[in-house]
Structures are given as C-alpha cells and as structure tokens.
Amino acid sequence: MADEIFSTVLGELEENGLLRRTVSFEACDGRTLTRNGKQYLLFCSNDYLGLSHERRVKDAVIEAVAQYGFGSGGSRLIAGTRTPHERLESQLKDFLRTEAALLFSSGYCANSGIIPAIAGKGDAILADRLNHASLVDGCLLSRAEFLRYPHRDMAALEKLLKKTSSAKSRWIISDGLFSMDGDLAPLDDICGLAQKYGARVYLDDAHAFGVLGDGGRGTPAMFGVEGKIDLIVGTLGKAAGGMGAFAAGSKIAVDFLLNRARSFIFSTAMPPAVAAGNLKAVEILGECGAERADFLLTVNSFHTELKRLNFALKAEGYIIPLVLGNASDALNAARAFWDEGIYLQAVRPPAVPEGTARLRLTLTARQTDEDRGVMLGAIRRIIPPAL
C-alpha cells in the first residue's frame, strides 16, 4: 500500500526532472573523482581548502582511532565526551574569539536543534528567504512566528521588525555566504537593524567559516561585526574538510544550548577521531593565511574570466551558481560536463526556488590553473552565453 503511494511520487519526480539518486565514486583525491575507471575533475565540493585530504589531518584521525576506538558510545551528556571533543570546542571558541563553543553532529542537527531551543510560541523569527533548508526546518519546528524577507532585502527586514514589535523576542536568522547563490548577507546592516529594534542575530556561517574574513573568521570578521552576533553556527564538513558543526557565542548561550538543544542532548556524539581530525583541520585553518589569500586570488581571477564570457555574476566567492531555470536543462547540462570529464551536480527544487534550477560550481584550493582552464572551456561550450 505504502509502496504504491511512494512509487506514484517517485514517478512524478522523474517526470519533472526532480528525481534524486546518489552517485558513487571508487576514489577521490580531493581534486579528482574516479567512477568506473574514468577520472573527473571535482567542481562541486565544499572542501574549499582541500583539508579532507591533508596528510596532517589524516594522521590525526588515524592516531585518534588507535587511541579512542571508532565510535563515541553515547551522547555527549552520558558517556560520549572524550578529550578531543573538549579540545575542539575550546579551539573553536579561540578561533572565533567567542567565549564558548558547542559541537553538534552536523550543521543540519545544529540548526534544527538550536532554533527550537532559542525561539518558541510568542517569539518571532525573521529569516532570509534563501536560507539553508536546515535553518528553515529549525524555524518551522520552533513554533515561533516565522516570517521571511526577500533575499538580502533590508528594507523588507526593517518592515518585519516594525510589524513584530510585540513579540516576546525576535531573532534575525541568515546564512553568511549563501549556500546556493554564493552571495553574502549584508551582515553589517543586519546587525545595525538588530540593534535598532532590539532583535537578536543568528548567523549560519557554514560556507564562510575558515575561508572568508581576517584569519578565516568568516563573515562577522569580513563585515566588522564580531561580538555583535548572538549565535554563530558553523560546520566542519566544508572548509575544515571533516564533518560536524558547532555553535559559538557567550558562555551562557552555550550552557543554555547544552541544556536545551535536543539534537545535542539526544544524539550520539561525533566519533572522537572525527573530533581529532577537525581539531587538526581547525589548527591548520588558523595557520594557512597565505594559502587562503592565494585561493581567494584564484577565485577573483575566475570571476574575471566568467565576466569576460558575459556572465552576469552575482556570486561573491567560491560558490558560483550557473542558473538554467528548468530542472531538465540543469540535468542535461550536468551530463554534458560529465562527458567532458568534469563533475558537478544539478541543484533543483526544493533545494532552490522553482524555476531556478542550476549547476552549483565550486572552486577549491586543490584545483590547478589548468583545471580551471578546462572548466572555463567547458562552460563556454555548454552554458548559453545569455546567462
């Protein structure tokens, strides 16, 4: 019975070019992927600085497996906390210059667990319309009044702030570097409005942490608003090259989350070896200023090249959407790149709004000048110049 319903839905998805499938590779070296013996240049990874394949990180993981075993054996509050978890939390708070930090198993767990802990009935959440799905789900779970403003529209945000003046408390929630559009939230304006109307700011800096801003401290450092954000969530599965996430803020905020965020309390702690790998990765993020600067220069050059090809570029970093509109067109374009030995994926609704299906191209520090040249050649051949 249930399968009948499921297969109807799957059929509809397939018809509309929206069916999803995993694609498996037998090898990956951070720069290329291999599938059925064929090698592809990797152009859709969030491993922006290539740390997932960094030798020092891999060694740290292997050592920690030998010392602590595989799993953590329980939630953080029962028997799952080991030295690497606490060291990583301490390192993250130092890195971001906050008072404290708390680990979560993933960014999805962090957002879907933290938001319902900090906002509830009688509160209001004002959120950018293009926020990541994990933020949206956290907002829906919270039972707070959930209002969305058009992407980066500060006049609309201000209107919502005026409209919600009677809420018990108000949170403005935004991505820092938007995951699918690659542009930045106007964080200085957001913080200014929050201050003016007595609202609080929740920032998901998943894609900027470790790469953007002075010292890789993300969009708060970039916009000069460090210390003005109530809670910062970051993930360790992107520039840190591992997995997991954290919330950073005041000591009181972190103690509150430890007691109230259900996805922290009721979930197995990340394996100690993952924490140890993250620890090494964040240490490297703290020391790799020159590599980070080089990488950002190559990102700028790539933007220049794309503009030369007449692309109206709205991306401000290493996430570059090539918007095609229709889901099937995006799928066909992805296949054309695969044929040219380049791997990237079509991103379709509901990950992006209807009519904005796209290829989400990402740049990483592992790619070479030659790789980027191959990519530009393929874009010229595959993507209509009107974009």
Q: What residues make contact with ligand PLP under the rule CB under 6 A?
A: 106-108, 111, 132, 134, 175, 179, 204, 206-207, 235, 237, 245
Q: Which is nearer to ligand PLP, 164 or 348 (CB)?
A: 348
Closest approach of Cβ 135 to ligand PLP, in Å?
A: 7
d(CA 312, CA 315): 9
179 a catalytic residue: yes
Instruction: State whether the Cα torsion 68-74-78-81 is positive or negative.
Output: positive
First to last CA, the chain: 45
Give SS3 for 259. Answer: helix
168 a catalytic residue: no
Of the candidates 329, 330, 360, 332, the one whose C-alpha atom is nearest the C-alpha of residue 181 is 360
Instruction: State whether the Cα torsion 41-42-44-49 is positive or negative.
Output: negative
Closest approach of Cβ 48 to ligand PLP, in Å?
A: 12
Q: What does the DSSP 8-state code read for residue 267? A: S
Active-site residue, selected from the candidate residues 52, 142, 174, 179: 179
Length, in residues, of the chain: 387
Contacts with 179 (C-beta within 8 Å, 6 or more apart), sequence order? 132, 206, 207, 319
d(CA 282, CA 299): 22
Q: Which is nearer to ligand PLP, 51 or 206 (CB)?
A: 206
Active-site residue, selected from the candidate residues 85, 93, 132, 238: 238
Q: Which residue has the CB atom at the shortest distance from ligand PLP?
A: 107
Instruction: State whether the Cα torsion 43-317-199-153 is positive or negative.
Output: negative
Of the candidates 87, 103, 118, 81, the one whose C-alpha atom is nearest the C-alpha of residue 253 is 118
Reported as type and span, the H/E element at residue 284 is: helix 272-287
Closest approach of Cβ 290 to ligand PLP, in Å?
A: 27
Q: What does the DSSP 8-state code read for residue 212? A: S
Active-site residue, selected from the candidate residues 85, 207, 280, 303: 207
Reported as type and span, the H/E element at residue 340 is: none
Q: Which is nearer to ligand PLP, 185 or 379 (CB)?
A: 185
Q: Which is nearer to ligand PLP, 93 or 132 (CB)?
A: 132
Burial of 361 (0-12, 13-18, 19+ CB in 10 A): buried
Closest approach of Cβ 177 to ligand PLP, in Å?
A: 8
Q: Which is nearer to ligand PLP, 81 or 179 (CB)?
A: 179
d(CA 375, CA 322): 13
Closest approach of Cβ 309 to ligand PLP, in Å?
A: 27
Closest approach of Cβ 241 to ligand PLP, in Å?
A: 12
Q: Which is nearer to ligand PLP, 50 or 218 (CB)?
A: 218
Active site residues: 179, 207, 238
